[in-house]
Amino acid sequence: MAESLDGKVVAITGAAAGIGLACGKACVEAGATVFFIDRDEAQLQAIAAELGEKAIPLVVDLLDTKSMDAMMPAILARTGRLDVFHANAGSYIGGDLVDGNPDDFDRMLNLNVNAVYRTVHSVLPHMIERKTGDIVVTTSVAGHEHIAWEPVYSASKHAVLTLVYTLRRQLIKHGIRVSSIAPGPVITGLLKDWPKENLEKAKANGSLIEPSEVAEALMFMLTRPRNVNIRDIVILPASQDI
């Protein structure tokens, strides 16, 4: 029998738009109190005004260590507990490595990898103490394959997928579930950095999915009975098989 999210406390990074926003809305609709975490304060305030008191804006800069360190204390000060942490924020850079800017790659790696492990690390003591919790990481199909036109992005998603797999084994004894959602191309702002020819081809043949479809996968994961862990969900458009 499916579990309810009613009354649960959820925190989602990168929640001002795209996948994070869709997942946050789905959790609120299911009765959860949701911390929408992002650095875009204006957008977070607009989301809270739209969704009501169960949507709590929390401004965090995931490229700033002090800001990240303040995240979990702010959550506990407001709600006293956290049931679900969804490390969703990320960025994208594609193209040939030789043409890229190393500083831009560093920024992407900091957000896609370092911010994930640092924020997950911050929620673990609380979940371990409570002997329950869910950690979900948005990875990518690029973490399961080796995508030639996005070598550094693909490397970042392989890194966090390995984090998910190893962390799951460490946390089983504490009753904490660790899972990954690996979407293919999703219609979000990240696609603006796609090679133009790839984006035009994807639009023409229907090879893109909606953020709401990723949110449905998250809801399926979180509502399984506690004796069930959906380890990974890979979501691809029906017309694509990478």
Render pLDDT for 66-105 as a digit per residue (tens, 0 to 9). Answer: 999 999 999 999 999 999 999 999 999 988 999 999 999 9
The mean pLDDT of the chain is 92
The pLDDT assigned to 195 comes to: 65
Question: Which residues are known to be catalytic?
Answer: 153
Residues 189-221 have pLDDT tens digits of 656 666 667 666 666 666 778 899 999 999 999
Q: What is the DSSP letter of 191?
A: G
Angle separating helix axes 71-79 and 115-130, nearest 10 degrees: 40
d(CA 46, CA 50): 6
Residue given tokens 């040939």 in the structure block: 96
Q: Specify the 3-state DSSP secondary structure of 105.
A: helix
Q: Reply yes or no on whether the pLDDT at 238 is more than 90.
A: no
Q: What is the CATH architecture of 9-235?
A: 3-Layer(aba) Sandwich (3.40)
Over residues 125-131, the mean pLDDT reads 98
Q: Where are the domains of the chain?
A: 9-235
**Is 76 in contact with 51 (CB distance < 8 Å)?**
no
| DSSP E strand boundaries for 24-101 | 33-38, 55-59, 84-87
Cβ contacts of residue 56 below 8 Å, gap of 6+? Answer: 33, 34, 35, 36, 48, 78, 79
